[in-house]
Amino acid sequence: MQSREGLHVAIIMDGNGRWAMRRGLPRIAGHRAGAAAVRRVVERALDLGIARLTLYAFSSDNWSRPPAEVQSIFWLLRAFLRLEAEKLRERGVRLRVIGRRDRLSNPVLKEIDRAESATAAGSNLHLCIAIDYSSRDAIARAAAQVTATLASSKVPSPDEIRPLLAQSLTMEHGEVDLLIRTGGEKRLSDFLLWESAYAELLFTDRMWPEFDETDLTVALEEFRSRERRFGGVPAATLQSVISTA
Ligand code: FPP
């Protein structure tokens, strides 16, 4: 079972640095190979009929990395946006960037605007790239925005605020159905925390640069083999309860 809007896969692309170091290469070589993996996975996502794909490209905590590495990641992101926008448009991909924009450089902002405008009409795949993204920050901002629009002097109740918060947070990309993390670690790292409340989690030891089309296909097969209960009971149990009632 997937969301009403179609299957939403989100990926924490981890392991670029380790992939490079194991080959005696600089970490940036891992990010470069990671960008190539992004291209492969977007192509396969289109073939597999995935409706939404959200990729964690740069977390707000990644600013603490050495400046040269941060610069290289942004160089790759800009290159991706500049070089891929036309191809994405032709393939019917709508690209959107989520995350803070106030700390991004003007050249990066310009490429984001260009790529988003060029691909705005795409309807085959909604590709969301998270840049300077923190889920806690997104939740805090949505809460501030929602309370401001309530324009009431009384403190809103949780029941009042929850649907507004949900709407604000999932407006751009919706709930996550399948969350994949490559690189062997098993954590969420401040990624789509609200949106992944009922996501199926899949952790793989594969380093992101080596994640390929087959890995995505296999991940989807694993997702489809799981029973999603959303806090309910297994379908078989429900059936037996109904038939014995
Ligand atoms: C995590 O691996 C990866 C990143 C912080 C950067 C991700 C960037 C890309 C894949 C390249 C450009 C992206 C797009 C969308 C074109 P890590 O460096 O933390 O790896 P490690 O855990 O092995 O050190």
Tokens read off for 160: 């009042």
DSSP secondary structure, 48-69, as one string? TT-SEEEEEEEEGGGGGS-HHH
For 69, list phi and psi in degrees, rounded to 5. Answer: -70, -40
Residue 1 lies in a domain: no
Residue 101 lies in a domain: yes
Residue 181 lies in a domain: yes
What is the pLDDT at residue 103? 98
Distance CA 100, CA 126 (A): 19
Tokens read off for 143: 């809460």
Is any ligand 1 atom within 6 A of the Cβ of residue 55?
yes
DSSP secondary structure, 14-40, as one string? --HHHHHHHTT--HHHHHHHHHHHHHH
Residue 56 lies in a domain: yes
Query: Greater confidence, 225 or 160?
Result: 225
Query: Greater confidence, 236 or 80?
Result: 80
Listed in order, strand segments (DSSP E) in the chain are: 8-12, 52-59, 93-98, 125-133, 178-181, 200-203
Which CATH number is 178's domain given? 3.40.1180.10
pLDDT of 240 higher than 90: no
Distance CA 125, CA 201 (A): 21
Is any ligand 1 atom within 6 A of the Cβ of residue 35?
yes
Average pLDDT, the chain: 93
Query: Greater confidence, 19 or 158?
Result: 19
Domain that includes residue 103, residue range: 8-244
Is any ligand 1 atom within 6 A of the Cβ of residue 18?
yes
For 51, list phi and psi in degrees, rounded to 5. Answer: -85, -35
The sign of the CA dihedral 175, 62, 20, 186 is negative
Give bridge partners of residue 128 from the DSSP assignment: 54, 96
Closest Cα partner for 7 from 41, 44, 49, 38? 49
- Best mutation site among 11, 12, 14, 88 for ligand 1 pocket (most ligand atoms within 8 Å of CB): 14
Residue 137 lies in a domain: yes
Give pLDDT tens digits for 44-70.
999 999 999 999 999 999 999 999 999
Tokens read off for 69: 């590495």
Distance CA 192, CA 8 (A): 12
Is any ligand 1 atom within 6 A of the Cβ of residue 128?
no
Query: Greater confidence, 170 or 220?
Result: 220
Query: Greater confidence, 84 or 235?
Result: 84
Residue 226 lies in a domain: yes
pLDDT of 87 higher than 60: yes
Query: How large is the average pLDDT for residues 142-158?
Result: 83
pLDDT of 243 higher than 70: no
- Best mutation site among 13, 180, 191, 207 for ligand 1 pocket (most ligand atoms within 8 Å of CB): 13
What is the pLDDT at residue 4? 57
Comparing 21-30, 37-46, 149-158, 197-206, which segment has the lowest mean pLDDT? 149-158
Give bridge partners of residue 68 from the DSSP assignment: none
What is the pLDDT at residue 149? 83
**Residues 62, 137, 190, 212: which is the catalytic one?**
62
pLDDT of 82 higher than 70: yes
**DSSP one-letter code for 172:** T
Distance CA 39, CA 96 (A): 16
Residue 97 lies in a domain: yes
What is the pLDDT at residue 241? 60
Comparing 123-132, 142-151, 181-190, which segment has the lowest mean pLDDT? 142-151
Is there a catalytic annotation at residue 177? no
Is any ligand 1 atom within 6 A of the Cβ of residue 81?
no
**Number of domains the chain is built from:** 1
Query: Greater confidence, 153 or 104?
Result: 104
Is there a catalytic annotation at residue 14? yes
Residues 6 or more apart whose CB falls under 8 angstroms from that of 32 comprise 76
